[in-house]
Amino acid sequence: MYKNAATRVAVLGASGYVGRELVGLLDGHADVALAFATSESESRLDGRDLIPLADAEGRWDDARLVFSCLPHGVSAPAVGRAEAAGARVVDLSADLRLSDRAVYGLTEVYRDALPEADLVANPGCYPTVAVLSVLPLARAGVIDTTRPLIIDAASGVSGAGRNPRRDLLFGEVAEDFRAYSAGNEHRHLPEITRQLAAVAGAVDVVFTPHLLPVRRGILATMHVPLARELTRVEAEAILLEAYGDEPCIRVLPGALPTLKDVIYRNRLALGVMPVKHVSRPMLTVVGAIDNLVKGAAGQAVQNMNVMCGFPETRGLAC
């Protein structure tokens, strides 16, 4: 496509599912050009050369902003070298999400801090959907924080990466469904509780992810204990008040979202339903995102757009 006077960017770890999605989004972005992209396992991606990470060392100067899609643990050192070379960084790994050194890149929440940020920790996919879905209710003070918040979420296989594993073979995943990291053992839990605590104070969370036989998308069904009864319209009004002007969040009045509402889009879709026949008030909230887009590469581009002063949805289908 025709490019404006372009900001040069780099992608570290371009051959995984997130990296490929990100390179595709950057290709269609009018204000940036890809300086280089790295991969340890592949040398070509859709007609473009990939270089080993080691070869990036001489080329940091060529990139104003570096995206790291490297694996957890591998990312932080590379991010450090990019920073040392003067590049701004969006780190899509988990390495810096619990650190105070980086701005937590949940765009709708930390938008004001992004223009000055040199280091952004892009949120995990589950925390993105969970925190954004519940935050307006927490801010409105309607959550009963003495009872646990239950989050049952299901993700497509791209969340587990592209490395060969028997349990991710088509023959194992198709026609199957399973819970994993049950009992609050998933590493995304601290990210969720930390973000909620900042707004609502400490709250018990029970977070159980599941593996879906789909390629992409996360649907989270959240059961929120309420401090007082809310009608469906009242609950929707709280979400609409918070998100009515957000270009990447859709509150669906009178409906619950499905994966189809969000896949291939940088969008969170949200719906609510009060729970009948229970003695203390509860609200079921359902949120859906594409784990590769709003849950990873798309939100990274959204963050870059705010960091660099581009229109926030440039290059994104929301």
Judged by beta carbon, residue 83 or residue 234, the one nearer a second copy is 234
**CB of 60 within 8 A of CB of 9?**
no
For binding to a second copy (CB under 8 A), which residues are involved? 17, 28, 147-148, 150, 152, 154, 156-158, 162-166, 168-180, 182-185, 189, 193, 204-206, 208, 210, 212-217, 219, 221, 223, 256-260, 263-264, 273-280, 282, 284, 286, 317
Structure tokens at 262: 């969000």
Smallest gap from Cβ 316 to a second copy, in A, equals: 10
Task: Catalogue the E-assigned strands of 95-165.
Answer: 103-104, 119-121, 149-155
Smallest gap from Cβ 163 to a second copy, in A, equals: 7
Judged by beta carbon, residue 105 or residue 217, the one nearer a second copy is 217
Q: What is the enclosing helix (H) or strand (E) of 11?
A: strand 7-12
Q: How many CA atoms lie within 13 A of 281 on its CB side?
A: 14
Angle at 299 between CA 150 and CA 241, to 5 degrees: 60
Smallest gap from Cβ 189 to a second copy, in A, equals: 7
Residue type, 222: M
Judged by beta carbon, residue 109 or residue 221, the one nearer a second copy is 221
Q: At 284, is the secondary structure helix, strand, or coil?
A: strand
Smallest gap from Cβ 18 to a second copy, in A, equals: 12
Q: How far apart are CA 24 and CA 29, in angstroms?
A: 9
The position carrying tokens 């994104």 is 316
Catalytic residue among 125, 248, 308, 318: 125
57: which DSSP letter?
A: G
Smallest gap from Cβ 158 to a second copy, in A, equals: 5
Judged by beta carbon, residue 91 or residue 261, the one nearer a second copy is 261
Structure tokens at 142: 């309607």
Neighbours of 170 (CB within 10 A): 9
Looking at the DSSP bridge assignments, the partners of residue 178 are: 211
Judged by beta carbon, residue 136 or residue 217, the one nearer a second copy is 217
Q: In Å, how far are 54, 178, 218 from 175, measured between CA atoms?
A: 41, 10, 18
Q: Annotated catalytic, 125? A: yes
What is the set of active-site residues? 125
